[in-house]
C-alpha cells in the first residue's frame, strides 16, 4: 500500500490533539469537516473552558472565498447577540479562526433520527417551541439585513430547553444569489435556480425544518430532488397535527416566495398552541 505523502496528510488534518490552534487555544478533538472549514473542540486557557473553533481547511487557505465567508460570519456573530443564535467569543484574523461557545445539547437532526429509530416523533409542544425560537432568531437576523440561507436540522441545537441556530457561514444580505447557496436537500426553489433571496427564502427553510421535525423525514426525501418542481405534501398527510400548526408548515413550503407567510404572521398561530 502506497504511503500517503506528508502534504496530503497535512491537507487532511491541520491540527492534532494537544496542538496549539492559536495562542491560548489547544485542540481537544477534531469535530467535523465541511467543504471549506474544519471545526475543532478546543480548550481556552483564558476562559478555563472548552470552546468551538472554526478554521479554514489547510487545503483551502489559498482561496479567498472561505476566508471571506468565515470573516463575515465572525463579524456578524460578534455584532449580533440573540438567545436562539450561537454566541461568538472572538475572531482571530491571523489564523483565521472563529471561536464560539460550546453547545452541549444534541442537534435536531440527531434528535429526529433517534426518535424515528424508536418509532416516536417530537411532541407538539416541542415543535411549537422550535418554531417560535427559530422564527425569533430569523426575525432578528432579518431586521439586521441578513439571511441565514442554510436552515436544516443539523444547524439547530437543543440547549437547555432552547433551540439555537448555528452556522451563518453562507448567509448574506437579501438580493440576487451568485449560485446555488445552501444545502441542496433543503434549498428553496429560488436557491435551486440561483434567483433572488429574500426573507421568504428563510421562511422556506423554517418550513423544511418544522416538517422534518414533525414527520421524521424531510418532505422531498433526504436528497430533496423534487423540491423545486412540485408542492410539498401537506403535513397532515404524514402525521395527524392541529390545523394551525399544519397550516404554518404548509404555508412556509409554498413554491412561490410571495405566497409564503411572513415570520410575524407565523408567530401568532404558533403562540396560540403554546
Give the pLDDT of residue 13: 67
Average pLDDT, the chain: 90
pLDDT > 60? residue 184: yes
Give the pLDDT of residue 163: 96
pLDDT digits (tens, 9 = 90+) for 134-163: 999 999 999 999 999 999 999 999 988 899
Q: Global pTM? A: 0.88
Give the pLDDT of residue 35: 83
pLDDT > 60? residue 216: yes
CB 110 within 8 A of CB 143: no
Alpha carbons 59 and 57: distance in angstroms, whole number: 5
Alpha carbons 274 and 58: distance in angstroms, whole number: 46
Give the pLDDT of residue 104: 87
Does residue 216 come out as left (phi exceeding 0), alpha (psi in the -120 to 50 range) or beta?
Answer: left
pLDDT > 80? residue 231: yes
More confident residue, 2 or 47: 47
Alpha carbons 203 and 174: distance in angstroms, whole number: 13
pLDDT > 50? residue 9: no
Give the pLDDT of residue 93: 86
Question: What's the whole-number mean pLDDT along residues 181-199?
Answer: 92
pLDDT digits (tens, 9 = 90+) for 113-127: 999 999 999 999 999
Q: Is the dihedral of CA 65, 70, 71, 72 positive or negative?
A: positive
Q: How confident is the model at residue 212 (pLDDT cuts 50, 70, 90)?
A: very high
pLDDT digits (tens, 9 = 90+) for 54-108: 999 998 888 888 888 899 899 989 998 999 999 999 999 888 899 999 998 999 9
Give the pLDDT of residue 100: 96
- Three cell numbers written together for 88: 461568538
Amino acid at each position: 500500500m502506497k504511503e500517503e505523502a506528508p502534504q496530503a496528510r497535512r491537507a487532511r488534518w491541520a491540527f492534532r490533539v494537544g496542538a496549539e490552534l492559536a495562542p491560548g487555544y489547544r485542540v481537544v478533538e477534531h469535530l467535523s469537516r465541511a467543504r471549506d472549514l474544519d471545526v475543532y473542540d478546543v480548550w481556552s486557557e483564558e476562559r478555563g473552558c472548552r470552546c468551538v473553533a472554526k478554521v479554514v481547511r489547510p487545503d483551502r487557505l489559498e482561496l479567498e472565498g472561505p476566508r471571506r465567508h468565515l470573516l463575515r460570519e465572525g463579524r456578524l456573530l460578534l455584532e449580533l447577540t440573540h438567545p436562539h443564535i450561537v454566541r461568538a467569543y472572538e475572531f482571530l484574523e491571523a489564523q483565521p479562526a472563529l471561536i464560539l461557545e460550546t453547545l452541549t445539547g444534541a442537534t435536531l437532526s440527531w434528535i429526529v433520527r433517534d426518535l424515528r429509530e424508536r418509532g416516536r416523533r417530537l411532541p407538539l409542544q416541542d415543535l411549537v417551541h422550535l418554531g417560535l425560537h427559530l422564527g425569533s432568531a430569523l426575525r432578528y437576523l432579518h431586521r439586521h439585513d441578513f439571511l441565514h440561507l442554510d436552515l436544516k436540522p443539523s444547524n439547530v441545537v437543543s440547549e437547555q430547553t432552547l433551540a439555537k441556530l448555528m452556522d451563518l457561514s453562507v448567509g448574506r444580505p437579501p438580493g440576487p444569489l451568485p449560485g446555488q447557496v445552501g444545502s441542496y436537500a433543503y434549498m428553496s426553489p429560488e436557491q435551486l435556480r440561483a434567483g433572488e433571496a429574500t426573507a421568504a427564502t428563510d421562511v422556506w427553510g423554517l418550513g423544511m425544518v418544522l416538517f422534518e421535525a414533525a414527520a421524521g423525514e424531510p418532505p422531498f426525501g433526504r436528497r430533496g430532488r423534487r423540491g423545486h418542481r412540485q408542492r410539498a405534501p401537506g403535513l397532515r398527510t404524514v402525521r395527524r397535527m392541529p390545523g394551525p400548526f399544519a397550516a404554518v408548515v404548509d404555508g412556509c413550503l409554498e413554491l412561490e416566495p410571495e405566497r409564503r407567510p411572513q415570520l410575524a404572521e407565523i408567530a401568532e398561530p404558533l403562540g396560540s398552541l403554546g
